[in-house]
């Protein structure tokens, strides 16, 4: 495919997303209809789509509209690329620009410039204060790719050398002793022997730092209550040498966890109905995902005030529900990938006001400025 044809494909996919399709679904459906597209074409188109999703409002402002064609035009103006070389009408390229399209668009301002809905722009400023601008801006750019070194099988230096021999260049990151940031060859990671044999796992550095912040020791009874795909389950199993119990309200999310655990050499059990007396219970609760919107940017456009309220209610319910699972003098850990105080510090304060006998031992934020996603972790115990 030509560069212009890739942009045309991105415009088509963006129209499907605007119509209500999830980004991944729209990309998958396009790929199935377009067998002629090679892997490099698909990767480039995906990058175009996600770059625009991160900057939806500013590209719409610059392009003068919210259809795929206008969004592509806005992105080209944003990155100072010649629109005339894309809107050529030749082959599979987009038709040439009209005079109206050439005249359309304006410089984004306020919430537009920071690529947030108006209500979120206000919430960011109210809750994040002086960090609001930097956080909003960070969410407009691609996230780095990070790997977690599996200490059950190797060490960081050995994993780094193995990856390098397979064309994946990395560097250590200061946020976690197990973290490697991929600086070249990111698209090769899943094909490397290091990945296939469980020496490394794909995991954001802040997610690794969250596990580092937990009081984990060998032999502990640990429950990952909202396990999802099990990334944190595996990380905890590597620190305690397992077994770690994994639970999720939707067991389908954990379908791949047994095979991932086998590959990693980690001791993991799936728990449908967890019983009490765990030394540590981690609740990585459902949240806005605002700290990871660089990776899933459509989330910030689909989130509504009502949905945020629903999530906060669920978070409080989960905290109350798991208290009986924590052993005496055990630890209840609460985590989100959110940058919002209403999902983080405010939830801990509300829990302590409801539940007598509990105290907060520690709470910590990991900001996007540190290089990873935005995360929050708090640990609590009974007094």
The CATH class that applies to domain 206-382 reads alpha beta
Please list the residues that pair with 152 across neighbouring strands: none
Residue 18 has a pLDDT of 94
| CA 365 to chain CA mean position, Å | 16
Rounded Cα gap, residues 15 and 18, in angstroms: 5
Q: What is the pLDDT of residues 356-365, one digit of tens each?
A: 999 999 999 9
User: What's the average model confidence in pLDDT over 195-211?
Assistant: 98
User: Would you state the structure tokens that stand for residue 297, as one six-digit string?
Assistant: 């940017």
Q: What is the pLDDT of residues 46-81, one digit of tens each?
A: 999 999 999 999 999 999 999 999 999 999 999 999
User: What's the average model confidence in pLDDT over 3-8?
Assistant: 97
Predicted confidence band of residue 105 (pLDDT cuts 50, 70, 90): very high
The CATH class that applies to domain 145-202 reads alpha beta
Residue 100 has a pLDDT of 97
Predicted confidence band of residue 184 (pLDDT cuts 50, 70, 90): very high
| CA 242 to chain CA mean position, Å | 26
User: Would you state the structure tokens that stand for residue 199, as one six-digit string?
Assistant: 């020496």
Give the whole-number percent of the chain exceeding pLDDT 90. Answer: 99
The H or E element that residue 76 is part of is helix 68-78
User: What's the average model confidence in pLDDT over 215-244?
Assistant: 96
Is residue 149 within 8 Å of residue 202, measured between CB atoms?
no
Strands 375-382 and 326-336 turn out to be: antiparallel
User: What's the average model confidence in pLDDT over 275-284?
Assistant: 97
Per domain, the residue ranges of the chain are 3-108, 145-202, 206-382
Is residue 361 within 8 Å of residue 311, measured between CB atoms?
no
Closest CA to 198 of 260, 155, 257, 145: 260
- Is the per-residue pLDDT at 28 higher than 90? yes
Residue 242 has a pLDDT of 79
């Amino acid at each position: 495919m030509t560069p212009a044809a890739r942009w045309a494909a991105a415009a088509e996919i963006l129209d499907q997303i605007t119509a209500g399709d999830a980004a991944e679904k729209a990309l998958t459906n396009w790929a199935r209809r377009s067998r002629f597209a090679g892997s490099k074409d698909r990767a480039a188109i995906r990058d175009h789509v996600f770059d625009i999703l991160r900057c939806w409002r500013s590209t719409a402002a610059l392009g003068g509209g919210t259809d795929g064609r206008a969004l592509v035009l806005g992105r080209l103006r944003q990155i100072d690329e010649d629109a005339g070389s894309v809107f050529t009408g030749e082959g599979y390229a987009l038709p040439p620009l009209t005079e109206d399209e050439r005249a359309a668009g304006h410089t984004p301002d306020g919430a537009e410039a920071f690529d947030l809905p108006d209500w979120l722009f206000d919430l960011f400023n109210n809750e994040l204060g002086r960090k609001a601008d930097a956080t909003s801006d960070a969410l407009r750019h691609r996230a780095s790719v990070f790997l977690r070194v599996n200490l059950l099988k190797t060490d960081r230096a050995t994993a780094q050398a193995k990856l390098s021999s397979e064309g994946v260049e990395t560097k250590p990151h200061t946020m976690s002793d197990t973290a490697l940031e991929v600086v070249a060859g990111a698209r090769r990671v899943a094909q490397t022997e290091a990945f296939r044999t469980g020496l490394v796992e794909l995991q954001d550095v802040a997610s690794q730092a969250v596990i580092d912040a937990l009081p984990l020791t060998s032999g502990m009874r640990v429950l990952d209550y909202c396990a999802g795909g099990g990334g944190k389950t595996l990380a905890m199993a590597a620190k305690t040498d397992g077994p770690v119990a994994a639970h999720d309200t939707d067991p389908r999310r954990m379908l791949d966890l047994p095979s991932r655990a086998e590959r990693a050499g980690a001791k993991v059990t799936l728990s449908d109905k967890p019983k009490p007396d765990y030394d540590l219970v981690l609740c990585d609760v459902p949240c806005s995902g605002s700290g990871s919107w660089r990776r899933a940017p459509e989330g910030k456009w689909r989130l509504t005030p009502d949905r945020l309220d629903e999530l906060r209610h669920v978070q409080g319910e989960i905290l109350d529900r798991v208290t009986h699972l924590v052993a005496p003098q055990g630890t209840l850990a609460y985590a989100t990938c959110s940058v919002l105080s209403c999902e983080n510090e405010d939830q801990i304060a509300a829990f302590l006001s409801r539940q007598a006998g509990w105290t907060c031992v520690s709470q910590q934020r990991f900001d996007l400025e540190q290089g990873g996603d935005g995360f929050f972790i708090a640990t609590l115990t009974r007094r």
